[in-house]
Homo-oligomer: A and B are copies of this chain.
Amino acid sequence: MLNSETGLKDIVENPKSIFYLLNQDEKEELQHHISLSQYKKNEFIFKEGDKPNGFLLLVEGKVKIFKEGVGGREQIIRMTKPLGLIGYRALLGEETHNGTAVTLEQSLICTVSPEFIFNRALKNSDFSYRIIRKLCKELGFSNARTVTLTQKHIRGRLAESLILLKDKYGFEHDGTTLRAFLSREDIANLSNMTTSNAIRTLSTFSSEKVIAIDGRKIRILDLNRLERISKLG
């Protein structure tokens, strides 16, 4: 069971939370518009085409968002960590979800009612502007990703994905082990390649001592080298 007490506090008290800069009144009202839900590993939160039914904030856990492409091949377009938003693009843009969200591990998700978001939060220009900045950053990321995923070669794409995982989830206490334990298939779907090629290329990196593999544990041994591989394409 995940700890919902500390999580709930974080939603309004942690500066990294989108709700941090609501005023006291708004924060109090927010409490009446949220609900929490537990998700097990590999559970669907929403699917491509669904109508969004709330503003979702990940309190604990990890979530991947992917789109299905040609022949059902999935491309992971985003990964979320605690205090990150899920599916807000569809809600705010008044569209249906254009990706599917699935938990990568047991997760706790806070749902805020659309009414609160539209009628109160968005009337607060600090909140609105924070949303705008968030969207701008994500759009920049998405554009950059379009280019790298289309232009880099397999090694470059995989290296970039590993760096991305490092930046998003950081390392374990040892300072080298990625704090994310994805299946080879997920790594492949993140990097726009087949599972075979993800496995193969991870092995190559390992034999080149750039990383070390122990099942799903990946240790980054030579970050500089990895960054060079990523830049090179």
Binding site for B on A (CB under 8 A): 67, 69-71, 73, 75, 77, 89-90, 92-95, 98-99, 122-123, 125, 128-129, 131-133, 135-140, 142-152, 156, 192, 232-233
- The distance from the CB of A194 to the nearest CB of chain B, in whole angstroms, is 12
Closest to A135 in B: B135
CA distance A73 to B139 in the complex (A): 21
Do B92 and A143 touch (CB < 8 A)?
no
- The distance from the CB of A96 to the nearest CB of chain B, in whole angstroms, is 10
Contact (A95, B135) CB under 8 Å given A148-B69, A149-B146? no
Copies in the complex: 2
Interface secondary structure of A, over-half rule: helix
Top 3 A-B residue pairs of the complex, sorted by shortest distance between their CB atoms: A93-B136, A70-B233, A69-B151
The residue that A125 contacts in the complex, of B69, B122, B148, with Cβ under 8 A, is B122
